[in-house]
Structure 1
């Protein structure tokens, strides 16, 4: 269940960065409207991929339950990291995006 967790955390970070105040606070400059749209799209696509990964690994019954748990855990992690360690939150999102192909390969 590592792959859905990595994808959920990256998705929530992308959705967080799609908000103007979070983007400016974390990256130091304003985002264009087009970049915010791309971040929203990327966030929702990553959430969809995480659902697919959870269902593919454990089936619909247990996969949905595990996916909901991964959603809550990744959102809680991001919410707790943002006020105190914002750079760590961004670093973890980048690392999870880089590690997700390895986790996908490990599934097979």
Structure 2
């Protein structure tokens, strides 16, 4: 199996694991759902999908950032091997790729604030 194929397989496995864990952790029992509705809270179905959306926003953006950092990082290391004075430019590009994950976390926080 090639490196790219292995990377794609691990990406799919991590996404499936994230989806499985989030679905196991978020389903409430009917008694808890009735108690939440009686307490004046949001509909449990809305809360459930809000939590799924927040988890997916963080998870998918983190996977995208990991892919971007891998691509930019390897190119940056190759460029630094030939011209060490490019370190400042290379670290800025890697930082921009990391920003993708931070945007996902910000979106998750905004979603969770709307639910609370």
Q: Give TM-score, length-normalised by structure 1.
A: 0.36
Higher relative contact order (CA 8 A, sep 6+): 1
